[in-house]
Amino acid sequence: MLDIHDYNGQVALRDAGLSEQFQAIIHPGGQAMRVLDRDNTVLLEETDDESAGDRPEVDRGELRQMLLDSLPAGTIRWGKKVTGARALGDGRHEVSFADGETVTTDVLVGADGAWSRIRPLVSDAVPAYTGISFVEVDHADADARHPVPASVVGGGMLFALAPGKGFLAHKETDGSLHVYIALKTSQEWLDGIDWADRDKGKAVLLEEFAGWAPEIRSLITEADGALIPRTINALPVRHRWERVPGVTLLGDAAHVMSPFAGEGANLAMFDGAELGKAIAAHPDDIETALSAYEKELFERSERIAQESADSLELIFDDNAPRSLVDMFASFGPH
């Protein structure tokens, strides 16, 4: 699930003429949220009045399909994996694909995610491990098949936390639960476990959460399917680059950050909208357009990347989950 913010993601969708389609995929009840401690004590609970609000929840897959459906047929060339790019001079670049094909660009926009093949044209920076890892699990048809995990998560978002570890979960529109089991640990520890062995992987996780309430541990014991390990990586908070003619970046390629500000998809859409506006404002001078776009991009992404880094520290600090509860309380009534 994604919460789409009224100050960036929704602005981009409105600029694209997709507000009506967006309203149709909002998940009623998705803004509900609760914070638990390791004993399954509810420390904070917020209900969703099912109004759209300023951060309505949508299913990631439905949002993706909505965006795809808005494009003219043939806009996307499926099955084309970029393997690299090189400068040709005069702002032109050659992009190489896994199938051996190459294309030459007049303007190249790297929107290819955290491990961008286009980023090296403008920056030597690579995402670094933040110290937090997730193991992702799912619970299908939760209300019927997994009533205990379903009761723990509730109808929206769950934070069940202790210092350096916890569970972040949400209920999907199809009734399943998607759970991130989070640990502050070394990357070597994560890589040293055979997560393909579900029983062994669950045993390792249960040991990490020994002493937690059995209801919360059921998020591990009752998980369906594969255990998917993920490291949380981020570019430097102040990531930026000198202007390189004919190329720029947007989304995670420009500013991948931890997910704890909930801004990844929102920023990617907003970056795209702002880039389009800059080009439209300077149709005969692409370098002026890209310079104006990047100036705003750097300021915007630095501010939000810092918020994300601060949130990561707060969620898993030595006072967890109290620090998160206090932060939400400081916002006042919702």
102-105 sheet: strands from edge to edge: 82-89, 92-97, 102-105
Q: Which domain holds residue 217?
A: 2-64+128-234
In a domain, 60, yes or no: yes
Let me know whether 204 and 143 are in one domain. Answer: yes
CA 31, distance to chain mean position in Å, is 17
Query: What's the CA gap between 34 and 32, in Å, rounded?
Result: 7
pLDDT tens digits for range 99-108: 999 999 999 9
DSSP helix/strand/coil, 230: strand
Query: What local confidence, expressed as pLDDT, does residue 28 receive?
Result: 77
Mean pLDDT of the chain: 94
Query: What's the CA gap between 31 and 13, in Å, rounded?
Result: 19
Query: What local confidence, expressed as pLDDT, does residue 2 receive?
Result: 87
% of the chain residues with pLDDT over 70: 97
Query: What's the CA gap between 259 and 159, in Å, rounded?
Result: 14
Query: What local confidence, expressed as pLDDT, does residue 55 receive?
Result: 82
Let me know whether 137 and 210 are in one domain. Answer: yes
Q: How many domains does the chain have?
A: 2
Query: What local confidence, expressed as pLDDT, does residue 29 receive?
Result: 66
Query: What's the CA gap between 192 and 99, in Å, rounded?
Result: 33
CATH code of residue 278? 3.50.50.60
Query: What local confidence, expressed as pLDDT, does residue 141 receive?
Result: 95
Query: What's the CA gap between 58 and 4, in Å, rounded?
Result: 7
Q: Which residues of the chain have pLDDT under 70?
A: 29-30, 49-53, 332-334
Query: What local confidence, expressed as pLDDT, does residue 49 receive?
Result: 62
The DSSP call for residue 119 is: G
Residue 165 main-chain phi, psi, to 5 deg: -165, 170
End residue of a domain, out of 218, 234, 250:
234
CB contact at 8 A, 62 and 173: yes
CB contact at 8 A, 250 and 109: yes
In a domain, 321, yes or no: no
Query: What local confidence, expressed as pLDDT, does residue 27 receive?
Result: 82
CB contact at 8 A, 74 and 59: no
End residue of a domain, out of 179, 210, 234:
234
Question: β-pairing, 177-184 with 165-171?
Answer: antiparallel
User: For the whole model, what pTM was predicted?
Assistant: 0.91
Let me know whether 92 and 108 are in one domain. Answer: yes
Query: What local confidence, expressed as pLDDT, does residue 57 receive?
Result: 87
pLDDT tens digits for range 242-253: 999 999 999 999
Query: How buried is residue 277: exposed, middle or buried, by Cβ count under 10 Å (0-12/13-18/19+)?
Result: middle
Query: What local confidence, expressed as pLDDT, does residue 86 receive?
Result: 98
Query: What local confidence, expressed as pLDDT, does residue 316 receive?
Result: 97
